[in-house]
Amino acid sequence: MPTIDCHVHTWDWLGFTRGGEGPAYWDRCRAWAEQLDVTYVVSCPKPIGRRPGEEPDPGFLHAANQETFDFVRQMKGRAIGLCYVNPRYQESAFAEMEEWIGRRGFVGLKLLTGVHCNDPLLDPIVDWCAQRRVPICQHTWNKANGNGPNESTPMMLAELARRHPDATLVMYHTGGDFVYGAKAARGLDNVYCDIGGADAVDGVLEHLVEHVGADHVVFGSDLPGRSLTSQLSKVHGARLSDAQKEQILHGNMARILAARNP
């Protein structure tokens, strides 16, 4: 069954550095993709030689997108890119989207923690994407000890979705809590729930499908922070029909990407 993994990072993890394990690790990722018929949707939102939490400025954003572009080429047809922007830098954000989505073939937008996703600063950026039917992939979490600065929750994404019903929004991680995330996404036709980054716990995917529908769930692994196989087990081991599993692993994200008009 072909798979689109909508949530992959190019950044280094646990010693998988470009000068050390990194090249061999990503060679294995490409081998997994070829063996399992997986296409990775990748972005580079983590610091490149910067301190954690440091504000991503236009220079960093451009370097991050260039790294994604280079990584996509290295993956030899097994990866497609997302453009990373910070809404605090509007001129830079539009320049990056025009270059990487408009001219370089990136398939969507990645947002992390520049601002909360219900901030009005996002409105013109979301409008730009909605007009082109380009999906917006927004990191969300709901941490028991409190989110980080400008880290969005599922409820914030739901507010953005109601404000922009024509935009296609992918809720990365589904807040890290599928029960909470399902409550936020329920009834919002323009929100798709990504299952990446959480443990493969019995029954949680079935709960998510019950509340938002298999046609609104998409597969993500959160590589390299998680393994591809453990994340695939969430779907393959779930008590769902083959048709529902196909929707989650491939059909829904394929439909989102096919609708683009950049």
For residue 84, the cross-strand partners are: 110
At 47 the pLDDT is 57
At 22 the pLDDT is 55
At 183 the pLDDT is 95
At 51 the pLDDT is 56
Query: Hey, what's the torsion of the CAs at 52, 27, 36, 232, to 10 degrees?
Result: -20
Q: 29: closest CA among 39, 15, 20?
A: 39
**pLDDT at position 259 over 90:** yes
CATH number of 164's domain: 3.20.20.140
- Burial track 226-236 (b if 16+ CB lie within 10 A, e otherwise): bebeebbebbe
Q: How many domains does the chain have?
A: 1
Sequence-distant (≥ 6) Cβ neighbours of residue 51 within 8 angstroms = none
| Percent residues over pLDDT 90 in the chain | 71
At 197 the pLDDT is 83
**Whole-structure pTM value:** 0.94
Range of the domain at 64: 3-258
Average pLDDT of span 105-129:
96
Q: How far apart are CA 223 and CA 13, in angstroms?
A: 9
